[in-house]
Structure 1
Amino acid sequence: MRPTIRPLLPSGGRRAGEPVAPPARNSYLVNCVAYVDGVAVPETNDPATALAHVRKAGKGFVWVGMFEPDADDMAGVAEIFGLHELAVEDAVTAHQRPKLENYKRYALMVIKTLNYIEHESPTTAMEIVETGEILTFLGSDFILTVRHGPHSELSGLRRDLEDDPEQLALGPATVLHAITDRVVDHYLTVVEDIEDDIDEIESYVFNPSKDVSIEQIYLLKREVLEMRRAVAPLRIPLQRLAQTENPLVPAPVREYFRDVEDHLNQVAEQVWTFDQLLSSLVDASLAEATVQQNEDMRKISAWAAIALVPTAIAGIYGMNFDYMPELSWPFGYPMVILVIVSVCVLLYRTLRKRGWL
């Protein structure tokens, strides 16, 4: 019986804080099937058995899927397929940059996966995008997929390919194309969701009735930067797969990689635009804060100027002198109050007319 993993949620992703059930630790081998003429061969759910069957038949290939294997898990698989120890180390430790490395009998490709985390608002979210990783070992008669991250599931992709034996008969390179195509298409979905968040943040920045902190803009900018680190380095590996002759990638499959490369360029341009827009929003938010501070300072200065009039007059008449103007006049006190009120009203109207109040 083949071990299974929890299927991936729709393109919206999972909600923040929602637990994801990964496979049991002893279920690192998610699936193993030998394909001959694009059709799955029964009773080939063991890597050694499947590879022996393919090589005995002289055609077909083996597709082995693994989820977060440790060093001991990978050691056995590496011995069966003849993998280099450095490539095995990359598969175990993960956290690699997207890349394509050619070895003597196979190639290693690293692809970053992205997943959008649903949240109520980008102004309150603590995390918006999470990343995973898929490492693929592509040989002439095998392909190994090593996944890291709960959202990098490929079981649906395997079913889709098995429903198209003619495509699957092209060899293991068609599996690599399907994986890159699925991942890049999901990039587009994540980009659309991020764009909605940026639009919401933008409306908050330029709406006086709503408040958004610069920290939240920086959070979104950091998430976009994480996307950029996943997307940008993948352009060179896809260019090599699409434009360079490779014995592991037949010409009919190479043509399909051009379409994936085109979609990736579209994503990369969008991510670059998001980065620039968020930088502009940070500048706009800082400028708006500066303008608001200047506005507050003007109001404070205006009220201080108004308050200075009664303070000055009261200070003068509070001095202990015998001879001061109108000191003994019965109407001196009302006159001083009238002068204070008149001057204050005049100042208020003048400052308000000039926009200081």
Structure 2
Amino acid sequence: MIDIYTHRQGEGLTHTQNADVLPGLLEDRDRTTWVDLEEPTPDETVLLESVFHFHPLAIEDCIHGRSLPKIDVFDSYLFLVVQGVLLDRKRHDFASTNLSIFLGPNYLVTYHHQPVLSVRSTKVLLAKSDNVLSRGADFLLHTSLDFLVDNYQPLLDEMDEIIGSIEERIVTTDGKGVLKEILEFKRPLPRLRRVASYQKEILNRLSREEFALVAPGLRIYYRDVFDHLVRVTDLAESYKDMLASALEAYLAIVNNRMNEVMKLLTVFSTILLPLTLIASIYGMNFRRLPLAEWSYGFEITLGIMIAISVGMLVYFRRRRWI
């Protein structure tokens, strides 16, 4: 599906889905045009080469959609690949969606195989006001990137909530059943930090005096988005540390529980040791054994064994070993 938004001073914002008007729109240097290709058909993908004359390698990256976030510089345009994210709570992971962007002197082209929330948010904003498109393609790019980075915040909030739940259950349930959850949740955090770091480098370059296609007055806006991504990477790193601490707490609880079991078994073994010794002595096949010929010998021996057991339990209790 193709959506074409165009703005010219005095005409305002117009929207069309007719790709035949693109050559005329691009020739008008006083007009800003945004072309969004969502789940494009092969005929719509051909426009990247036939109308815009983009580099084949950039088009290949768009079609395959497997490239990491990056920014490439061509003669008359910039090519960016960024990634939006969405948390999958059931899998304790997040899905990333590639968004390919071409920034030219008077146009912006976005290409994506799946719906991207930041693109939809930009369209909603355009429906309310044409101010975004009237300020140029570079400002429109900033708006899309700003929405994309803002969408990381719900992901971070949900991650914080899940980690808090894990930490609470470690304490309240002695950590039962959370080890798998901790290990599953640790995997996406380095990937989130890596993706955010790549995009942080993109925003850092856009905020400097490196690209003529970005107006000097807009670089501070890109710097603001860059600061947001710095916060994302910092939070991802802190969540990684929190999960590591949660894992250590879980292992400490397991070890403590194992120590309690071993202590209890040791107490029982220690109590049974003298009783076993007495039983072994009286189990020997000798004729002369103390109390062996006495009619109350069994009861006295049993009483001695009970007294030893009680005495040892009292001693262990006073020493606070049990």
Settle same-fold status: TM greater than 0.5.
Answer: yes
Q: 2:267 matched to 1:302?
A: yes
Tell me which amino acid in the other structure corresponds to 2:137.
P
| Whole-angstrom CA distance in 2 between matches of 1:148 and 1:352 | 70
Q: 2:234 matched to 1:261?
A: no
Could you tell me how far 1:313 is from its partner in structure 2?
A: 1.7
Q: 2:12 matched to 1:39?
A: yes
Q: 1:158 to 1:351 in 2, by over 3 A?
A: same
Residue 84 of structure 1 corresponds to which residue in structure 2? 55
Residue 146 of structure 1 corresponds to which residue in structure 2? 111
Tell me which amino acid in the other structure corresponds to 1:41.
T
Tell me which amino acid in the other structure corresponds to 1:46.
N
Q: 2:311 matched to 1:340?
A: no
SS of aligned partner of 2:172: coil
Quick check: 1:201–1:212 contact (8 Å CA) kept in 2? Answer: no
Match of 2:91 among 108, 126, 130: 126
Could you tell me how far 1:177 is from its partner in structure 2?
A: 0.5
Tell me which amino acid in the other structure corresponds to 1:35.
H
Residue 121 of structure 2 corresponds to which residue in structure 1? 156
Q: 1:153 to 1:127 in 2, by over 3 A?
A: same
- Structure 1 residues not aligned, in runs of 5+: 1-28, 120-124
Residue 238 of structure 1 corresponds to which residue in structure 2? 203
| Whole-angstrom CA distance in 2 between matches of 1:322 and 1:70 | 103
Quick check: 1:116–1:190 contact (8 Å CA) kept in 2? Answer: yes
Residue 213 of structure 1 corresponds to which residue in structure 2? 178
Match of 2:151 among 171, 179, 186: 186
Q: 1:157 to 1:302 in 2, by over 3 A?
A: same
TM (norm. structure 1) is 0.82
Quick check: 1:100–1:109 contact (8 Å CA) kept in 2? Answer: yes
Tell me which amino acid in the other structure corresponds to 2:25.
H
Could you tell me how far 1:181 is from its partner in structure 2?
A: 0.4
| Whole-angstrom CA distance in 2 between matches of 1:131 and 1:46 | 30
Residue 61 of structure 1 corresponds to which residue in structure 2? 32
1:100-146 alpha-carbon deviations (Å, 9 max, x no partner): 111111111111111133x5xxxxx3234222121111111221112
| Whole-angstrom CA distance in 2 between matches of 1:86 and 1:254 | 28
Residue 253 of structure 2 corresponds to which residue in structure 1? 288
Q: 2:100 matched to 1:135?
A: yes
Once the two structures are superposed, the pairs formed by residues 159-174 of structure 1 within 5 Å of their partners are 159-174=124-139
Q: 2:75 matched to 1:104?
A: yes
| Whole-angstrom CA distance in 1 between matches of 2:118 and 2:182 | 31
Once the two structures are superposed, the pairs formed by residues 11-50 of structure 1 within 5 Å of their partners are 29-37=1-9, 39-41=12-14, 44-50=16-22
Q: 1:310 to 1:30 in 2, by over 3 A?
A: farther
Q: 2:243 matched to 1:271?
A: no
Quick check: 2:275–2:305 contact (8 Å CA) kept in 1? Answer: yes
Could you tell me how far 1:149 is from its partner in structure 2?
A: 4.0
Bigger helix fraction: 2
Could you tell me how far 1:253 is from its partner in structure 2?
A: 2.2
SS of aligned partner of 1:144: strand
Q: 1:305 to 1:71 in 2, by over 3 A?
A: farther
TM (norm. structure 2) is 0.91
Quick check: 1:241–1:249 contact (8 Å CA) kept in 2? Answer: yes
Q: Percent sequence identity over matched residues?
A: 25
Tell me which amino acid in the other structure corresponds to 2:108.
I
Which has the higher mean CA deviation after the structures are superposed, 202-211 or 137-146? 202-211
Q: 2:192 matched to 1:227?
A: yes
| Whole-angstrom CA distance in 1 between matches of 2:179 and 2:171 | 13
SS of aligned partner of 2:151: helix
- Structure 2 residues not aligned, in runs of 5+: none
Quick check: 1:113–1:230 contact (8 Å CA) kept in 2? Answer: no
1:40-72 alpha-carbon deviations (Å, 9 max, x no partner): 335x423341232341x3321321112344776
Tell me which amino acid in the other structure corresponds to 1:112.
Q
Q: 2:168 matched to 1:197?
A: no
| Whole-angstrom CA distance in 2 between matches of 1:50 and 1:151 | 23
Which has the higher mean CA deviation after the structures are superposed, 333-342 or 151-160? 151-160
